[in-house]
Structure formats: C-alpha cells, structure tokens
Amino acid sequence: MKKILSTALRGLAPIVIAGFPVLVAAQEGSPGAAQEPSADRPVPEAAAEVQVTRSALCLRVEGREPVEVDTVFPPEVGKIFAFTKVEGVDQPTQITHIWYHGDREMGRVPLSVSADGWRTWSTKTILPAWTGAWRVEVLDAGGNRIKTLEFRVGGPEPGSTTG
C-alpha cells in the first residue's frame, strides 16, 4: 500500500491553502523560467491601449451625450455625471470611475466597455455640505489612471478673482 501511495504521489508537491494541505502537480524546469513560444502555443498579442478620447462633467446625459457641461457646480446640484468615451478597445473590458472629494474617496463605479468608441458614465449624489475640490479618476482594467476630471462644488476656488 505504501509503495502504491508513494508512486501515486510522485510528481505532486504539497502546499497549504487556507490551513488545509493540498497537492498540486509539480512543474519541470526552474521556477519563473520563460517558456519559448511554439507553433502550438502562440505568443499572446499585447492588449490595446485603452484611452479616454472625450470626457465631461455634466448635469445629465441624453442620447448618450453629456448635457449642461461644467466644471463648477452649485452646492444644491444634487447629482453630477462623469461621462467618458473610450477608444482603443479590441475586446470587452472595464474602466472604473473613482470619485474623490479632496483626497477622500467617495465612490468607486466599475463600468463595462464593450466596443471601440464606447460611451459610458457614472453619477454621484452630492450633498450641499460637500463643497470644495472634487475629481473623478478614470482607471483602465489594470488599475492604471488614464484620465482625471476635476471640478468644484460651491463656486470658484478660494483666492481667485472674479471679473
């Protein structure tokens, strides 16, 4: 019995996952060694570079287009939309809108992008007390920042002069 078990377990390496021992198949070659491409295992193509080609902050979106675009909103605005048009997509992917009030994250919205030229948007409810500098960071599926939209709630930046 010992010999049968020993033969059956040969080539398996023990590891522990969540406190339970598990056996996994051991791999030949040195760990982390790059494998040469072969005809039956082609090299994957590099992913397309996703870009935001158009963006806006607005009060609403109609017909997939931003309406009442601005970068300064009154404290009683209620809701703001962050609109983005994405290019460079060769397969379905995802972007994320992260809403910040100052340096505090106020919301994170994952958005599906199904094709090149895709238009998508997220919204954030803004309470009247949440005045000051805001921004929306747009991240690609890998977590890389590809766009930042900045805006203000409650009037012009302190210290600025008005005409």
Where on the phi/psi map is residue 117: left (φ > 0), alpha (ψ -120 to 50), or beta?
A: left
Q: What is the mean pLDDT of residues 85-112?
A: 97
How many structural domains are present in the chain? 1
Res. 112: pLDDT tops 80: yes
Residue-wise pLDDT for 40-79, tens only, equals 544 333 345 899 999 999 999 999 999 999 999 999 999 9
Q: Is residue 18 included in any domain, yes or no?
A: no
**With bands split at pLDDT 50, 70 and 90, how would you rate the model's confidence at 159?**
low
Q: Pick the closest to residue 112 from 90, 136, 95 (CA basis).
A: 95
* Residue among 155, 163, 160 nearest 73 (CA): 155
pLDDT class for 124, splitting at 50, 70, 90?
very high
pTM for this model (two decimals)? 0.68
Q: What average pLDDT is seen over the chain?
A: 79
130 inside domain: yes
Answer whether residue 42 is part of any domain. no
DSSP state of 42: P
- Let me know if residue 76 belongs to a domain: yes
- CATH classification at residue 85: 2.60.40.1930
